[in-house]
Amino acid sequence: MAVAPPSPSAIDRIADKVFAGGRISYEDGVALFHHPDLNDLSAMADHRRRSKSDPDVVTYVVGRILNYTNVCWMRCKFCAFYRVPGHDEGYTLSEDEILDKVRDTVEQGGTEILFQGGLNPKLKIDWFERVFARIKQEFPSVNLHALSPAEINYVAHISKLSVRETLERLRAVGHESIPGAGGEILVDRVRNLIAPYKDKTDEWLECMRTAAALGMRSSASMMFGHVETFEDRVEHLQRIRDLQDECQPFRAFVAWNFQPEETQLPIPKKASAFDYLRTIAVARIFLDNIDHLQLSILTQGPKIAQLGLRYGADDFGSTMIEENVVSAAGNKFILNAAEFERLITDAGYTPKRRNTRYEHI
């Protein structure tokens, strides 16, 4: 059933809060998702962005998404990448293959390795310790932005360790920060529909809380446009904002829309560009305690990414020398640093290369 858009006076009240530097409520967030005027959302999101980061600068990082294994027992319905244990198409990279990919990244000027894969029951903590130690020994300047909470929780489980013990051991060999993947929608009703065997909302949040206590920073994410409602999206944002208030784990937030091709989640069509711009704008307005909002060029392409810079985004994300998970569903907008800089400059901003810590380099 269609929901009536909020009244002009309701939007004016929300805008007054935003332009005064105030915090919007859950109800305000839901109202903004139902508001049909993208120009209003853009104005509020851009104001919030300008208060959180340099208004003239758009950053990006040169990195690689290194998918070390596609073997995963979890069978998430939204994923086209995984292969169950024993499948003929399953793979796990050797340590030398991983080192070769890191070396190639560094030779291309890369500073970030986003190290992610499936939940492979053969890979316990000693495997990750050995691999991370070799990477940092040979390439000490590389930032290991590695392992989603789901991977960390699983490694802890099969290694018979607590999450804290797991993170302490991985941090000791160079694990620096945690990507926000696996968050999807932090509402258990939704998680039970799209990934019934995956960690639940509280487990995802607790992993990020534990990492923050150890001095490890993270990013937060949202995959939208499947079975969730607008209310679910705002509840997701609320949980992220609440945890950020509590222990400041997150450097950045990124949202992307679900890619249904080759998956087991029967969604008739993808979220539109309108919905993407609306979603990142509401996220930027709502997440008043997170400094950076990253675009998803991989799913949206360069034109929508440029528009997104007026909807609250201040970061182009990674050039992604390599990526396999989203691309497994047929989407592949992968651009190099020169193309990033051209797009940013053409949109009226100054491009700045950064590292994982959002330090300009």
How high is the pLDDT of residue 53?
94
How high is the pLDDT of residue 258?
86
Q: Classify burial at 128, counting beta carbons within 10 Å of its beta carbon; exposed 0-12, middle 13-18, buried 19 or more.
A: buried
SS (HEC) of 123-148: CCHHHHHHHHHHHHHHCCCCEEEECC
- What's at 31, amino acid-wise? A
More confidently predicted of 171 and 336: 171
Compute the average pLDDT of residues 184-190: 95
How high is the pLDDT of residue 78?
63
Compute the average pLDDT of residues 175-193: 92
Percentage of the chain beyond pLDDT 90 is 79
The region of weakest confidence among 27-41, 192-206, 221-235 is 192-206
How high is the pLDDT of residue 226?
92
Q: Are the beta carbons of 357 and 346 closer than 8 angstroms? A: no
**For the chain, how many residues are written?**
361
Give residue-wise pLDDT tens across range 71-84.
886 666 667 666 77
How high is the pLDDT of residue 57?
98
- Domains annotated for the chain, with CATH where assigned, are 26-353 (3.20.20.70)
* Mean pLDDT score across all residues of the chain: 92
- What is the phi/psi pair of residue 60, to 5°? -160, 165
**Alpha-carbon gap, residue 241 to 239, rounded angstroms:** 5
**Alpha-carbon gap, residue 240 to 293, rounded angstroms:** 13
How high is the pLDDT of residue 1?
54
How high is the pLDDT of residue 2?
65
One-character DSSP codes across 256-273: EE---TTSSS--SSPPPH
How high is the pLDDT of residue 329?
42
3-class secondary-structure state, position 278: helix
How high is the pLDDT of residue 322?
66
* Residue 328, pLDDT above cutoff 60: no
SS (HEC) of 58-104: EEEECEEEEECECECCCCCCCCCCCECCCCCCCCECCHHHHHHHHHH
Compute the average pLDDT of residues 142-154: 95
Give residue-wise pLDDT tens across range 156-165.
999 999 999 9
Q: Are the beta carbons of 302 and 339 closer than 8 angstroms? A: yes
At residue 85 the predicted structure's pLDDT band, cuts being 50, 70 and 90, is: low
pTM (predicted TM-score): 0.93
Left if phi > 0, otherwise alpha if psi is -120 to 50, otherwise beta: which for 27?
alpha
**Alpha-carbon gap, residue 81 to 323, rounded angstroms:** 11
Compute the average pLDDT of residues 46-65: 96
Give residue-wise pLDDT tens across range 10-43.
999 999 999 999 999 999 999 999 999 999 999 9
**Alpha-carbon gap, residue 40 to 23, rounded angstroms:** 17
How high is the pLDDT of residue 269?
79
Compute the average pLDDT of residues 275-299: 96
How high is the pLDDT of residue 102?
97
At residue 185 the predicted structure's pLDDT band, cuts being 50, 70 and 90, is: very high
How high is the pLDDT of residue 327?
45
